[in-house]
Each structure stands twice: as structure tokens, then as C-alpha cells.
A and B are shown apart, each in its own frame.
Chain A
Amino acid sequence: MSIVSNIMLQSTIDLNTLFYILYFITFPIFIFYGQRLQMMMSLSEVGRALNRLMMMRDKARKETIDYIKDVGKAPNDPSERIDQFLDYVTIMPVDLDPSGIVNKIDHIVTTKDERVRAEVKSLISDTNPVTLSVSENLLEVASTLNTIHKIVRHYYLLGKKTNSYFLIYQLQMIMPMILQEADALLNAVDTFKQGQPVGDGIGPLVVSRYMVGREKQPIAKDTVMAVSEYKGRKLYILKAEGPMGYVGQPGVAMRRVIEEMGVKPSAIIMIDAALKLEGEKTGEIAEGVGAAIGGIGVEKFQIEEVATKHKIPLYAILIKQSILEAITVMRKEIAEATDKVIQRLNRLIEEKTKEGDTVLVAGIGNSLGVGQ
């Protein structure tokens, strides 16, 4: 028989008492050190997620370098320039006096876009505009993933350094959402490289049907316009120029059509992708009022301003999809919603306007893989 069993038999201590003693020993340990144990577990979980973010960033960076070298036919090794680019910073204007801030943001963002385009043009020797736009998009994805990784790493290290459980716990709580978005961005890399339309391109896809066979003219940077007709109404159709991966300047385009060309539309109808809520189906269509456009807010401000100034009703048709579906290759459910959206658009035009009226229809979104 073992020594322990002998001692137990000889003493009055039984198994129940032993567990009772163990409980009393471990209870204070968990009271005083429980939070530290939880912190170690949270740190480990966040650390693993941080490693994943680093791998995602590195993969996006490699894919971008390979694309610029192989397809862009870069004459020199672009790795160093791309690494510098990944750390580019856009400093937003001060908002102490918000009056006029939209114009300042517009100026900063336009400067940034022009700089990016000039940098990419200097890196690649292929003059194909699709290659240029895809290179820009890939750089943007890699840069965003780099920023996400840096910010998460900052808070992780800060929490570790200061032993701040609440900082690490908050980071742990939002990590699933961050990883989801990072994963969506990484999946977008393949789609951009192939030049395939993305879910966000549903707006341009719908309006391209009205533009086929019509004369197209540039109306703003990376934006084209065509004039069409539907049941006695004159339609001014706007979309970003495809099949390049640009979103164009629909706000500037609308202002030019209305204020410089003197067109007086009876309605502005915008077609865009919208993020679906959990439980909603991909490809569901919703109608509403207001400027259906995302982004930083500059284009939205410009559209709302011109519509308000000229008292033009703003209507929206939205096609629901998730963030992953919006930035990766267009899913069948979204593509098949095109005909339904066209029916809704036609019905909206018939209901809200009369024969002889002018309607401005804008297909909002990224025009990658969608011509006109």
C-alpha cells in the first residue's frame, strides 16, 4: 500500500477533508492572482491574433510587390518604395473651427490621391490604366492592413507594459471584428489582381446597362457620363470610369451637370451597395431617400449641398451585402439582383417624374471590371 494511503488510514484525514484543504489553499490564490491569470490568457489570445494580422500584412505586401513587378513590369525592385509607401500618413485638418472643413478634407484627400497615383506611375512601366488602378488598390489594401497591425500592436504592447487588464480586455473584445475586416481586405487582393468586379460595383453595373451604345464623356476625374432616355424622360447617367478600379467623383460630376451644364433634374437617384445587418440576405434591395454614398463624407456633402441648393429630391436604391462581399468578387446573388434593381429604378422614375423631365442617375461604387 502507498505511503499516502497508510498515512490517511492512520490519521483522521479523509478524502473530503483533503479537498476541503485544497479548496482553502487555491481560493486565496484565485482571489489575489486570478486577474493576473486572466490577463495572461487574454494576452496570449491577443498575441495570437496579432501574429495573424502580421501574416496578413506581409502577404498583402508580397502580393503587391509581385503584381507591380510582374504585371506592372517595374524596371527596378519596388520593395523599398512600397515599404515607404505603407507608412504614408494622411493628417486630417484640425476641426477646432469646423466651418469650411469639408473643403480642407477634400484638398488633403485629393493631394494624397494624386501623390499615390504619381508614385505608382513612377514605379510601373506598363501604361495600361487597369494595371495602374489595380496597383493603387493593392497598395491601399496593404497600407490599411499595415495600419491595423500597427495600432493593435501598439495597444497590445502598451497593455502589457502597464499591466493594464482593462486595455487588454477591451482589445480582446474587439479583436474578432478587427480580424474579420482584415480577412476581408486580404481576400480582396486576389479579386483586384484578376480585375474582377467586386460587390461594391453593383451600382456601376446597373447604370452601365443604360450607357451601352451611348456616347460617353468624361465629366470629372475618373468619372464618365452618358445621356439616355426612358419613357419620355431624359436620363443623365453617371458612373466611375471602368474597367479600372476607381470610385470617381460623383459629387463633383453632379455639381458640374447641374451648375455648369445648367441641367435641371426633377430627381437624383443613387444606386449603391449597403452593409447588411446580420440576418439579412445578400442581394436584398431597399429603397430610401438621401445621398447613398460612403467614403469619408466629402462627396456626400457635395451631393447633399447641390441637391439642397436646387431643391432636387434625392432617392436611393441600396443592395445589401456584407463587408466581405462588398470588397471581394461579386457574388451570384448580388449580380442577379441587377435586373430587379433596374425594375425598381424604372418604377421610381415613372412614379416620381413625368414625361419631359430630366433625371440624374448615379451608379455609386468601385468600377473594377465594369465597363460602360
Chain B
Amino acid sequence: MSVIEKRPKLIVFTIEECPVCGQKMKRPFQAGDYITKETTKCSKCSNTLRISLIYAENAKQS
């Protein structure tokens, strides 16, 4: 009864976005990350980056 198909390995990423200049950064998920959390300074305009998305994609795709 092999209904549980082999699933590809997933890697979780965090997308940080600057609310002012729109710069986006993609990095691996870290414990404590959540959407709308303010993180570091934007390298372009020095405003605070905010986490806009957290998602998983296949290891092959990434």
C-alpha cells in the first residue's frame, strides 16, 4: 500500500523586503522568523527590512 509517494526534499526560505525602495533579499529560514517581522537595515536605503514571505521550495528548484 504505497500511497505515500516519495516527496522531494524541501528547503524553507525567508524573503526580506524593504518597504521603501522595494529591495528583496532571499535567505534560509531561521528560527524566530515570522512574516511582518522587522529585521536588518536595507543595504540600499538604510530603512528597516521586513519579512514579507516565508515559503518552501524543492531542493532542486532552489
Contacts and interface: CB of A to CB of B under 8 A. Distances in A.
Residue with the greatest number of chain A CB neighbours at <10 A, chosen from B32, B35, B37: B35
Contact of A330 (B1, B4, B55): B55
Interface residues of B, number: 21
Contacts of A78: none
Contact of A179 (B1, B29, B57): B1
Contact of A242 (B34, B50, B53): B34
A45 B1 contact: yes
A181 to B, nearest CB: 10
Contacts of A370: 34-36
Contacts of B34: 195, 197, 242-243, 369-371
Interface stretch (A111-119, A270-278, A302-310, A331-339): A331-339
B3 A212 contact: no
A205 B50 CA distance: 14
B57 to A, nearest CB: 4
Interface string A218-234: 00000000000000000
B54 A338 contact: no
Contacts of B45: none
A196 interface: yes
Interface string B1-36: 101100000101000000100000000010111111
A329 B31 contact: no
A48 B1 CA distance: 9
A372 B31 contact: no
Contacts of A205: 35, 53
Contacts, number: 75
A332 B37 CA distance: 19
B55 A371 contact: no
A208 B36 contact: yes
Nearest to A329: B56
B36 A371 contact: yes
> 10 smallest A-B Cβ distances: which pairs?
A243-B34, A335-B55, A371-B36, A176-B3, A332-B57, A329-B56, A332-B55, A370-B35, A335-B53, A369-B34
Interface of A: 45, 48-49, 175-176, 179-180, 183, 194-197, 205, 208, 211-212, 242-243, 328-332, 334-336, 338, 369-372
11 contacts: A176-B3, A179-B1, A180-B4, A194-B12, A194-B31, A196-B12, A196-B56, A329-B56, A332-B57, A336-B55, A369-B33
